[in-house]
Amino acid sequence: MMKWIAAPIAALFTTAAADQPAPSSSMTVHQAPWNPVAPYITAGQDEPGYRSWYLAAPSRAAEVKSFNDYLLSAQVGGIVPTWQLLRTATSWQECGAQPFEVPPTSEWPHMVQTLRYIRDYVIPTVGPVEPVSVYRNPSLNVCAGGAPESAHKSDSAVDLVPLNPIDRVTLMRTLCGAHSAHGAPYNAGLGFYAYLRFHIDSTKYRRWNMDPAVAAECPPIVHPEDVASVGQPLPQQPPVSGSLPAITAAPASTIAQPPVTAVKTPERGLPHP
Between β-strands 158-162 and 189-192, what pairing exists: parallel, antiparallel or unpaired?
A: unpaired
Q: Is residue 8 part of a domain?
A: no
φ and ψ at residue 223, rounded to 5 degrees: -100, 160
Q: Is residue 45 part of a domain?
A: yes
Residue 96 Cα distances to 91, 99, 158, 268, angstroms: 9, 9, 21, 12
Each residue's pLDDT tens digit in the chain (273 positions)? Answer: 434 433 344 444 443 334 445 555 555 666 678 899 999 999 999 999 999 999 999 999 999 999 999 999 999 999 999 999 999 999 999 999 999 999 999 999 999 999 999 999 999 999 999 999 999 999 999 999 888 889 999 999 999 999 999 999 999 999 999 999 999 999 999 999 988 999 999 999 999 999 999 999 999 999 988 988 886 655 554 444 443 333 333 344 333 333 333 333 334 333 344
In the chain, the number of structural domains is 1
Q: What is the pLDDT of residue 194?
A: 84
Q: What is the pLDDT of residue 135?
A: 98
Q: Is residue 84 part of a domain?
A: yes
Q: What is the pLDDT of residue 175?
A: 98
Q: Is residue 247 part of a domain?
A: no
99 prior amide bond cis, ω within 30: no
Q: Is residue 187 part of a domain?
A: yes
Structural domain that includes position 125: 35-229
Q: What is the pLDDT of residue 33?
A: 84
CA distance 141 to 27: 49
Domain with 112 in it: what CATH number? 3.30.1380.10
Q: Is residue 253 part of a domain?
A: no
Q: Is residue 260 part of a domain?
A: no
Q: Is residue 1 part of a domain?
A: no
